[in-house]
Amino acid sequence: MIIPGKDYPLLIDSTIKDRPLLAFEKVRYYGEPIAMVIADTEAIAIKASTLICVQYEPLPVVNSPEAIYQKDAPLVHENAEQYLFDVSSGLTGTSGGIRPIPGTNIANIQGIRKGNIDRGFANFDVIVKEVFSFNQSDHTAIETRCADVEIKKTGDVIIHSASQEPFEMKELISKTFNIEEGKVLVNIPLVGGSFGAKTSVQLEPLAYVASKSVGGRRVRL
């Protein structure tokens, strides 16, 4: 079974609901998932993935933090205002006071004020002005991300995941798919390394959709 993004045109995430479950209408970054293959074996899944044909239309891109907030920069999210308010539920689509600025690539502005900057600069012996840049990097644990999801006939959703956020996962799955929170049962074993990299909920919503698509069978992603 192959599930394309158009079958689940949902926006998810915890801090700001701006991430499609699977990309639909537009792909916003290199490697963004666009479809999901569900199969009994890995070999069948690999073969099925070769049947997926996608035609991409190249779009203007932004490649640096400096470029992304310029007035003429291509917009990664053209309708950022949709993340401010969820009309269907009457709830804001963000948490923690995050406020995207419509018509820009700015997700939020946070002011930090401490001390007197003018006095500080006046007392410096040396002032250096320079622009520094670093290659992209990320911390990596030996244990990769993995999620198992099974939907029981009772409606209970059983999740096993390598994650740091069982409670956030429980809440997100509940709200996204309109499931009673008490029916979402999350099991987290000893995590094999994370360093903060497994605090976001990523694979579990996909695994839930995969399980639902095959009648609740246990699916590993």
**Per-residue pLDDT reduced to its tens digit, 7-35:** 999 888 877 888 999 999 999 999 999 99
89 pLDDT exceeds 80?
Answer: no
Helix (H) / strand (E) element for 219: namely strand 219-220
- The type of residue at 175 is K
Residues 6+ apart with CB under 8 A from 110: none
Considering only residues 44 and 135, tell me which one the structure prediction assigns the higher pLDDT: 44
Q: How many helices (H) and strands (E) does the chain have?
A: 5, 8
Delineate the domains of the chain, giving CATH numbers in brackets. 2-59+139-220 (3.30.365.10), 64-111 (no CATH)
Q: What pLDDT is attached to residue 111? A: 81
Of all residues in the chain, what percent carry a pLDDT higher than 90?
Answer: 55
Please name which of 22, 27, 19, 29 lies closest in space to residue 8, comparing C-alpha atoms: 22
Indicate the pLDDT class of residue 152, thresholds 50, 70 and 90.
very high
Alpha-helix residue ranges (DSSP H) falling in the chain = 42-49, 65-68, 117-123, 166-177, 203-213
| CA separation, residue 186 to residues 70, 150, 180 (Å) | 42, 11, 13
In the chain the first and final C-alpha atoms are separated, in Å, by: 14
The tally of CA atoms less than 13 A away on the side-chain side of residue 172 is 29
Q: Pinpoint the alpha helices (H) of 85-197.
A: 117-123, 166-177
pTM over 0.75: yes
CA dist 15 and 32 (Å) reads 19
* Residue 203: other Cβ atoms inside 10 A: 20
**pLDDT exceeds 80 at position 88:** no
The dihedral of CA 12, 18, 20, 24: what is its sign?
positive
